[in-house]
């Protein structure tokens, strides 16, 4: 009798375990990693995306987020995504140009007339065309997040004109366009990963860097660099990407759920970004940073050579003209 009872209990356990496994396998869990601080507007937008995805799908899809370089740098996350060890990541479009070459167009200084023009391009056919650029490298672009305008910040002196950059080592992303831009202004571009930049600034490996106000603030680089010059040379968005290994296995319904959650996160992030930019500039000035608003025309004139080099490629020349005439 005891053996019969034990077998009965064991059969219940096995049945419950089977149901549990079945329930788990019915939920599509997508792992997303990025390098940003949890207070960044992009991270907050991703948290909302995860909440929306669970609600839209009725709990059939969920997002696991790993922030703050827990799984590696931007480039490392792209490589993890390519080999199928990561599902989604957020990277700067400047890093993406190594995997989707035509995206380097976004690194061209003073490409957009203003923020509204940038959004029109990103949200339109040109933006979608460039999101699809990386598919042959197992990468599909999902959306663009607002990353504002990038400007120079330095340790020892303000940048009032391009002449002030001469002889300075300026950290840039692993982007040929960014390096060309800094060279054209007289600086010495130095590629360094974002996670190593604070220490590199402290130790004098570089004299400055360039980024948007929230990144300058949240990275605490203002503790080392006391001059921030709002020359706003580039509007370089962030890109949310997914591995084609994940996208191709999703059903059409799952793709719709995911894209809807992504799209909703974009409008939410743009609202947060506008607030974050204002707060960042206020806070860094409270911390003793001198914010400079230089005449942008001298910077724009000095980078014309970058356009001339890119215009030698007929495809890039056409793309630049389409963006400027959009």
Q: What is the mean pLDDT of each run of 10 residues along the chain (326 residues)?
A: 42 38 70 92 97 98 96 94 96 88 93 95 96 93 96 97 97 90 96 93 98 94 98 95 97 98 97 96 98 96 90 93 96
User: What is the predicted pLDDT for the residue at 3?
Assistant: 45
Q: Residue 87 carries which DSSP code?
A: S
The runs of H, that is alpha helices, within 71-223 are 74-82, 93-96, 115-123, 125-131, 176-184, 197-202, 213-218
| Its pTM surpasses 0.75 | yes
Alpha-carbon separation of residue 60 from 17, 30, 55, 265 (angstroms): 19, 11, 9, 19
Q: Which backbone phi and psi does 28 adopt, to 5 degrees? A: -85, 110
- The confidence score (pLDDT) of residue 187 equals 97
The whole-number pLDDT of residue 275 equals 95
- Say how far apart CA 285 and CA 17 lie, in whole Å: 58
What pLDDT is stored for residue 25 in this prediction?
62
138-149 pLDDT per residue, tens: 999 999 999 999
Would you say how long the chain is, in residues? 326
The count of C-alpha atoms lying within 13 angstroms of the C-alpha of 139, restricted to the half-sphere facing its C-beta, is 28
3-class DSSP state of 4:
helix
């Amino acid at each position: 009798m005891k053996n019969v009872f034990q077998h009965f209990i064991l059969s219940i356990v096995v049945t419950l375990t089977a149901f549990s496994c079945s329930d788990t396998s019915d939920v599509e869990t997508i792992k997303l990693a990025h390098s940003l601080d949890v207070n960044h507007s992009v991270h907050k937008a991703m948290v909302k995306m995860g909440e929306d995805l669970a609600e839209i799908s009725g709990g059939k899809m969920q997002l696991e987020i790993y922030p703050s370089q827990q799984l590696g740098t931007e480039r490392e996350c792209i490589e993890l995504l390519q080999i199928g060890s990561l599902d989604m990541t957020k990277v700067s479009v400047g890093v993406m140009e190594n995997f989707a070459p035509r995206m380097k167009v976004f690194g061209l200084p003073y490409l957009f007339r203003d923020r509204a023009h940038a959004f029109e391009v990103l949200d339109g056919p040109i933006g979608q065309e460039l999101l699809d650029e990386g598919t042959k490298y197992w990468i599909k672009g999902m959306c663009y997040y607002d990353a504002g305008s990038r400007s120079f910040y330095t340790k020892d002196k303000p940048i009032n004109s391009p002449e002030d950059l001469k002889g300075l080592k300026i950290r840039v992303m692993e982007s040929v366009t960014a390096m060309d831009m800094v060279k054209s202004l007289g600086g010495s571009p130095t590629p360094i990963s974002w996670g190593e930049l604070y220490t590199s600034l402290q130790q004098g490996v570089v004299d400055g860097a360039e980024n948007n106000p929230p990144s300058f603030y949240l990275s605490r680089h203002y503790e080392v660099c006391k001059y921030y010059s709002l020359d706003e040379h580039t509007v370089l968005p962030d890109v949310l990407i997914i591995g084609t290994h994940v996208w191709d296995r999703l059903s059409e319904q799952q793709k719709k759920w995911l894209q809807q959650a992504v799209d909703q996160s974009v409008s939410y992030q743009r609202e947060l970004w506008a607030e974050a930019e204002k707060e960042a500039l206020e806070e860094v000035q409270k911390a003793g940073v001198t914010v400079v608003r230089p005449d942008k025309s001298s910077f724009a004139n000095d980078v014309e050579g970058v356009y001339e080099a890119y215009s030698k490629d007929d495809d890039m020349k056409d793309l630049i003209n389409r963006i400027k005439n959009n």
